[in-house]
Structure 1
Amino acid sequence: MSHTIRSLSNRGEIAKLQFGASNRNMAAMAYTVLDAIEFDAGVSGNGLDKIYSKDQIQTALKGVEYFKDEEFGSYRLRKGDSDSEAFLNKVADGMFGKVNVIVQEPELETKESCASRCHNFLSTIMKSMSSEYVTIEFR
């Protein structure tokens, strides 16, 4: 499972941003700067498209610059999250008897790496926009 965010023009693909389903730091940044939180289906995009103007892409680039200097939080479960581990242990206990489930923390991309990749994605779109609008698909 993974996220693929692609920008398209009438000539085809302009730029692509891909990251794993468990990379919640990248998901938090990419979907936030694109003002597309509702397109994040957790393990991938929700399969829908959104049309962006040049101004919206420029605003997204400014959002990346903001995130470079500010703390941002991901919205994933963290290892040691008592609610998630307690729930999973109850389910496992009911199915298999007494066991101990530990939520494994996924590898997370650094804030700097997320910002760099998002900036490159959006800059490529800006440089390639031959019309006032571009379609971005969330898969």
Structure 2
Amino acid sequence: MPTTPEVLFVCVHNAGRSQMAAGLLHHHAQGRVTVRSAGSAPADTINPAVLEVMNELGLDLSQEFPKKLTTDAVEAADVVITMGCGDACPVFPGKRYLDWELTDPAGKSIEDVRPIRDDIDRRVRALLAELVPEAAK
């Protein structure tokens, strides 16, 4: 029986991009992928504009919170996706690393965060189709 792939999304504050990516992948994967997110320097709370644009899709992130990036989280992941955390993410042999260049939603309006969310959603759907081909059908 194949194991469930694990994806870790990492950004600096774990308050915007990585939270949106984790929420979207969790939603689309419906249990077929283990999803985590973390930050190299986590913020205190999730960006309110991020909460709002995710609510627009019916995804409630209000119970989520920024988490500190740990070596264990990286070791457990099959795919590590960084979003502007630079060299803060530890690198382990045998892991697949992707760097998604995305605008940081910090300080942006809801109108400015929506296109970032939509860009992340497209990337997440493509990643899911690659990790779990039957999910794309």
The two structures have a TM-score, normalised by structure 2, of: 0.34
Which structure has more relative contact order (CA 8 Å, sep 6+)? It is 1
Q: Compare CA radii of gyration and give the structure with the larger one.
A: 1
The two structures have a TM-score, normalised by structure 1, of: 0.33
- Structure with greater strand share of residues: 1
